[in-house]
Amino acid sequence: MASDAELNDAAWSIPEYKEALYQERSHNHVLVIPVINEGERIRGQLRRIAAANLPVDVVVADGGSTDGSLDPGFVVTAGVRAVLTKTGEGRLSAQLRMAYAWCLLQGYQGIVTIDGNGKDGVDAVAAMVAKLEDGYAYVQGSRYQPGGVAENTPLERTFGNRLIHAPLLSLSGRRWFTDTTNGFRAYSRAYLLDERVQPFRDVFMRYELLFYLTVRAGQLGYRTCEVPVRRSYPENEATPTKITGLRAKLDLLNQTFSAARGVYNPKG
């Protein structure tokens, strides 16, 4: 396993990005929120996070928003520590590589990730931090755990998650999870820096990194768990998602099978 003394980001593949830093570090853990053009959804979410007084600093991983939702005047009042704007290639996994690398180099001991489209309840962030402090390396948020809430979830998403995605990644990762399509999760510093993980590779461009980190933790014997979360889809409105069309859904399925088969595992 890699230690902080061995941390060498020269070997990491990180997309080019711009950094806007607004506050000094004040916590040992950080909340990373990947977004792109989420408008009022991300603004409302950042307001809820600030009101909840969570034990984390907040970093927004922007994929290149053009809607003005991350205007500096707003993010400062919302308590955001930094906005990192990806200018290089890639989609969600590239945004996460950018943000996770930045957070590790800043010295954070754990990283919580939550989607920026306003579907997730923010209170569970504190529970995830507590699990990291208890020694868990990977914490998965689940709307299906007792105490969790799945509100207005589209039927095809319930079917795909419960009957295909979660069983497949659970079998591959040797840990039982119930909600592996949920981007609400947390990772320890030690897990992300383990040389057997190597998350900072450009093979991770779309959604691969999320699925890979789910299976790899159990394969390496790390402590994992789930915590109940709320995930609410809007009623009688379009589903807030970047995954649209049959081709995108088939591509997502292919990435899932690739993660389960060990395609993304470091060679050697």
What is the pLDDT, as a whole number, of residue 167? 82
Residues 68 and 36 sit within 8 Å (Cβ to Cβ): no
Does 5 map to a domain?
no
Q: Assign 36 a pLDDT band (cuts: 50, 70, 90).
A: very high
Does 7 map to a domain?
no
**Residue of higher predicted confidence among 26 and 163:** 26
Q: Assign 2 a pLDDT band (cuts: 50, 70, 90).
A: very low
Q: How many domains, the chain? A: 1
What is the domain extent for residue 250? 12-260
Does 266 map to a domain?
no
Residues 122 and 116 sit within 8 Å (Cβ to Cβ): no
Does 36 map to a domain?
yes
What is the pLDDT, as a whole number, of residue 259? 87
Does 1 map to a domain?
no
Q: What is the full DSSP assignment across 155-224?
A: HHHHHHIIIIIHHHHHHHHTS--S-TT---EEEEHHHHH-TTT---STT-SSSHHHHHHHHHHHHTT--E
Does 265 map to a domain?
no
pLDDT digits (tens, 9 = 90+) for 69-99: 999 999 999 999 999 999 999 999 999 999 9
What is the pLDDT, as a whole number, of residue 238? 60
Does 70 map to a domain?
yes
Average pLDDT of every residue of the chain: 89
With a threshold of 0.85, does the pTM exceed it? Answer: yes
Decide if pLDDT at 163 tops 90.
no
Which CATH number belongs to the domain containing residue 97 in this structure? 3.90.550.10
